[in-house]
Amino acid sequence: MALSAEESGRLAALLGGHAEQVTQRWTEIVAGSLRGRLSQAELRRQVQDLHSAIVTTSKQGVIDLSAENAAELRAALSELSRGRARQGFSATETAISIFALKEVLAGLAEEAGGATALRDYVAFSNLVDELGLFTFESFVRTRESLIADQAEQLLELSTPVVKLWEGVVAVPLVGTLDSARAQVVMERLLQTLVDTGSPYAIIDITGVPAVDTQVAQHILKTVVAARLMGADCIISGIRPQIAQTIVALGIEFGDIATKATLADALRHVLRLNGVETARRQPRRDV
C-alpha cells in the first residue's frame, strides 16, 4: 500500500503547491457532512494539521503508515479520531474527514492532466484508504476505552451500603447483577458488617430488573456468607412479577426472610431488636 519515493514526491508537490486551495476545499466537504456541529475555525485548524502532517511525511520519501518516520502523521490521525469519538460523532462522520481528501485529489489530478495523473490518483487513493482505516481503528479504540471506563465507574457507583438504623445496614441493588458486581456487593456488604458491627443486613432488589437462577444464586451466597459471620440477611423489594418468576423457576430461599418492601423489612428487623413500631393515629387539629 505504501507509496514509492517518486509518487510521494509528486504527492508532496501536489498538496504543498496548492496548500490554500486544498485545505479550503477539504474543509468545505467535511463541514458539509458534519452539518455545523463543529466550528469552521476548529475544522480548518484540524484539516491544516492533517495537511501539513501528510506533506511533511511525503517529503521524506516513501510513505508507509507503519514506518518510523510516519509517527507525526499517525499522531495527527489519532488526535482527530479521539476528538471525534469523545465529541460523539459517528464512525462515518469521522471517516469522511479523511476520505474527503480523495475528492480534493481527484479535482487536482483532473486539473493537472497528463499520462501519469490517473495512475498517481489510484496510488494516492490507496494511501487515503489506509489513512481512513487507521482513523477508524483509533476511533473504535477510543470508544472501547470509554465504555470500559464507564463500566468501571458504574461498578463503583452503584453498590452503596447504607446504615438504616443502629445495627441495621441496607444494600439497595440497582441494575443487572452479574458475577463481577455480585462479588463487589458481597465483599462491600460483609466488610461493612464487620466495620459497623451490625447484626442485620437488608438486601433490597427493587432496582434489579430481572431475577434468574444466577442472580438468585449470587444473593443466596451473600446471605450464607453473612450468616457464617454471624449476621442475618433479609431480602426486600420483591416485585409481583419477580415473585412469580422466582416461583416459576423453583428458586428456594429456604428460611431467609423475604419482604415486599424495604419498610416491611426494617419493621421486621426493629421488632426482632425489640423496638416498638406502633402505628399511631395521625394527629388531627380540631
Partner 1 sequence: MERVPILKIGDILLVSIQLDMSDQTAVALQEDLAERIVATGCHGVIIDITALDIVDSFVGRMLSTIASISKVLDAETVVVGMRPAVAITLVELGLSLNGIRTALNVERGMELIAAARADELDYQLDDDPDAETATP
Provide the minimum distance between the beta carbon of 191 and partner 1 in the complex, in angstroms, as a whole number.
Answer: 5
Per-residue contact track with partner 1, 141 to 160, x per CB under 8 A?
Answer: --------------------
Question: Which residue from 86, 119, 163, 227 is in contact with partner 1, where contact means CB under 8 A?
Answer: 227
Number of residues located near partner 1, criterion CB under 8 A: 18
Structure letter (DSSP) for residue 41: H
Which residue, 17 or 197, has its beta carbon nearer to partner 1?
197
User: Count of CB atoms within 10 A of residue 124's CB?
Assistant: 25
Q: State which amino acid sits at residue 37.
A: R
Q: In whole angstroms, what is the distance from residue 231 CA to residue 197 CA?
A: 9
Which residue, 197 or 207, has its beta carbon nearer to partner 1?
197
Is 1 a binder of partner 1 (CB under 8 A)? no
Q: In 3-state terms, what secondary structure has residue 275?
A: coil
Which residue, 9 or 199, has its beta carbon nearer to partner 1?
199
Whether residue 169 contacts residue 189, with contact meaning beta carbons closer than 8 Å, is answered with yes
- Which whole-number Å values give the CA distances from 188 to 148, 173, 198, 200, 256, in the listed order? 22, 12, 13, 15, 20
Q: In 3-state terms, what secondary structure has residue 147?
A: helix
Per-residue contact track with partner 1, 175 to 204, x per CB under 8 A?
Answer: -----------xx--xx-xx--xxx-----
**75: alpha, beta or left? (left if phi > 0; alpha if psi -120 to 50):** alpha
Closest by CA to 251, choosing from 191, 205, 199, 183, is: 205
Provide the minimum distance between the beta carbon of 149 and partner 1 in the complex, in angstroms, as a whole number.
Answer: 27
Is 252 a binder of partner 1 (CB under 8 A)? no
Is 83 a binder of partner 1 (CB under 8 A)? no
**Segment near partner 1 (CB under 8 A), from 111-119, 227-235, 236-244, 249-257?**
227-235
Instruction: Report the interface residues with partner 1, using CB under 8 A.
Output: 186-187, 190-191, 193-194, 197-199, 221, 224-231
